[in-house]
Amino acid sequence: MTFMTIRKDTNQLHNDPIYRRKVAWIWASLEAKRQLNFFDGYLCNKARLANISEEDLRDFARYYSVARSVTFSDPESGYKSLSRKLKDSHFITAPPQRKYNQLLSLFKKICSRGSGTTFSAKLTWFYHPDEWPMSDTLAKDALAMYYPRGKKTYAKQNYPEAIKSVFTTKELEIVRNLISSTKTEYPYALRIVDKYLFLVGSGNLDNNSVAWIDWMNWMIDQSPATINDSDIEAIIDELGYMPKY
């Protein structure tokens, strides 16, 4: 099997749900890399430098569509308050969960509508991209599918913890093997899990939507010609060991 076999074998993608779920991981890795190049890499670097500006926050809110989830009491002062918080030493040195909690507390003070949970979770990711998930609503819905009925609410409400209970060090190692096999050179394995869960939660994977397949095929066309065929075959087999929902 080669990358181009996946590219051309549309019938198997549509007719074999098990194969489709494995190949969807390739979509997740390619999509994560695209976002890293387009916006995520820039803001991750600004976060490392503790230098995210008001304009950066506005761009982030538009790009990730989180602006619609909150209403600032005063939009101008709201973004100023956020920018100041991000430069505060107590915020900068805090672990991810504490950063998230600090942002939630701030949103309670500066918002007239919305709790800021999605805004806070996504923003926290840029400071800890290798250990904190973005916590998209669709991804939360998908993660709950991996849990029994009595624990689905737990999975949604405790996504950063619950995702690591399903996708452990073992599964993240498979994701890193995927990154190596496809020469994606993407540094954050947990984010690829996040992207995969987003696709599951959207319904497009199991509803056999062609949109993500067409996008993946276009991305495959742009991939390095040096990708080893045997590596692709091996990683497709290895992805069969990922958790089932």
- Identify whether residues 195 and 218 lie together within a single domain: yes
Pair 153, 236 in one domain: yes
What total of structural domains would you count in the chain?
Answer: 2
* Residue 48: inside a domain: no
Residues 214 and 184 in one domain: yes
- The predicted-structure confidence for 33-84, as pLDDT tens digits, reads as follows 999 999 999 999 999 999 999 999 999 999 999 988 899 999 889 999 999 9
* Amino acid 47: pLDDT: 98
pLDDT at 101 over 80: yes
Residue 58 counted as domain residue: yes
pTM of the model: 0.92
Looking at 122, 143, 170, the residue that finishes a domain is 122
pLDDT beyond 90 at 109: yes
Residue-number span of the structural domain to which 77 is assigned? 53-122
More confident residue, 184 or 91: 91
- For residue 208, the model assigns a pLDDT of 78
Whether 24 and 140 map to the same domain: the answer is: yes
The CA angle 88-90-94, to the nearest 5 degrees, is 120
Is residue 83 within a helix (H) or strand (E), and if so which, with residue range? helix 75-87
9 has pLDDT over 70: no
| Predicted pLDDT at 2 | 54
Residues 108 and 195 occupy one common structural domain: no
Instruction: Please say whether the beta carbons of 5 and 19 come within 8 A.
Output: no
The reply to whether 67 and 86 lie within a common domain is yes
Here the tokens at position 123 are: 């923003």
Residue 75 and residue 114 in one domain: yes
